[in-house]
Structure formats: structure tokens, C-alpha cells
Structure 1
Amino acid sequence: MENIYAKLAQEQLDAYNNQDIEAFLAVYSDDVEILVFPSNELQYKGIELMRERYSNLFKENPNQHAALLSRMTKNNIVIDHEYVTGRANGQEVYAVAMYEVTDGKINKVWFVK
């Protein structure tokens, strides 16, 4: 049975692949933090900056798609391993994202560099 944390991660992944910005943002807290792992460097904070960045990403990469290769959860942390294709620059990448869920919303995301 899928837990609530994995459900939120899946909802944002589905919305990302559908390029549905409103559904994508719906699972994030207003003060979401986007960080780099392992340095913990803050890339940006807040739902409005996320809206701007992902709206541009969707516009510039209309065929981009992230295939979920694996997912694990530990308490309120979800770790996804994805294969991203369809980027405008032709580059295909493996990505690892970690999501922390608090009060029913994703409040932190770390992208592994």
C-alpha cells in the first residue's frame, strides 16, 4: 500500500509529466525550499519562484518526461530515482530527488548533484 508521502511524490511526478503547473504546485508548501545535496546549498525558496522556474521549464521543454526508476520512503522522506528525456537540448539525465513532507505538503526538495 502506497503511503501518503509516496502519494504526494507521485502526484507531483504525474503533474510534472503532464506539464500541469497548478497540479504540480498543489503538493508543495508555500515556503518550499529547493536544495542541493550533499552541500545543502539553498537554490531558491517559495512557491512563486517554483512557479516561475517550472513554468519556464515546461514552456522550453514541451516533450520532457521523467520516468520513475525506483522510489523509497523512510518516515516522511521520499527518494526518487528518475530518467529524464525529451529535453530541448537533447540531453538525457538520471536524476535523484529527495522530498521531505511536513503537514501534508512537500516542504523541502534536495537534488543530488
Structure 2
Amino acid sequence: MIDNTAPVQRQLDAYNAKDLAAFISCYHSDIAIYRMPATHPSLKGCAALEAFYKTERFSIVALRAEVLQRMVVGNKVIDHEKVYGMAEQPYEVVVVYEVQDGLIVNAWFYPVV
């Protein structure tokens, strides 16, 4: 049985370690990132993902995320996360990761309001 949580957990660990190479290695080369309710990706492809996280995320000293709850449905891994360091107060987000062949191919970010 395939463990679709493995690449999702690896990218979370790399995110918290700010290990850009390890983080990017969890994603398919054609990764599409959606910030909902968007109908088009906000980021497309590993090069765009790497550039964004290098300059806009991993430069934030206090940046980290923790999973509050995880659910797996087929090849979708749904994480309820708390993110620290992006704002004065931590905020929550739900992320749906679609995994194929051990890599994340799509990710949808839903703000929790």
C-alpha cells in the first residue's frame, strides 16, 4: 500500500527546517499551488515554487507550521495546519495535497476564517 502521507510529511519537515532543496524535492516538476478561492494556480512549476519559498518564506526566521489534524482520502492528504511567523499571531489553514507517484502534484490552500 502506498503511503501518500510520506511526501507531505517530508515537505512539512523540510519547511520547518527551511531546507529548500529537501522541500522542493517533495514536489512534482509541474506542481500547481492554489490559494483558494482561486481558479488558477498562484504558483506553477518547481522553479516558481523554489523562487517564492527562497525569497518570501524561508527568509522568515520564526516561520514554522504544525499539523493540528491530518486526514487521508485516496491520494489526497488534508492537513489542518497552524502557521507561525507570517503574522503577529499564528493563523490556521487547511491544505489539500494531491499525491501521485510519491510526489505532490497539486496543493490547495484554504484560509480558516
TM-score by length of 1: 0.89
Displacement of 1:41 in angstroms is: 2.9
1:27 matched to which residue of 2? 26
CA distance in 1, matches of 2:39, 2:7: 22
| Paired AA for residue 109 in structure 2 | F
**Which residue is 1:9 aligned to?**
8
How far residue 44 of structure 1 moved from its aligned partner, in angstroms, is: 1.8
CA contact (8 A) 2:65 2:81 kept: yes
Match of 2:31, SS state, is strand
Q: Deviations over 1:22-67 (max 9, x none)?
A: 11011100010011334433212000000011111111x1111101
Amino acid at match of 2:67: L
Q: Which runs of 4+ in 1 moved over 6 A?
A: none
In structure 2, C-alpha distance between the alignment counterparts of 1:10 and 1:96, rounded to whole Å: 15
Equivalent pairs counted in the alignment come to 110
1:81 alignment counterpart = 80
**RMSD of the TM alignment (CA)?**
1.7
The residue number in structure 1 matching 2:43 is 44
Q: Is 2:6–2:102's contact at 8 Å kept on the other side of the alignment?
A: no
91-100 or 11-20: which moved more? 91-100
Per-residue CA deviations over 1:77-109 (Å, capped at 9, x if unaligned) read 00001111123x423110111100112210000
CA distance in 2, matches of 1:32, 1:91: 29
Superposition pairs of residues 50-69 of structure 1, within 5 angstroms: 50-56=49-55, 57-59=57-59, 61-69=60-68
- Provide TM-score, normalisation by structure 2: 0.89
1:97 alignment partner AA: V
Secondary structure of 1:91's aligned partner: coil
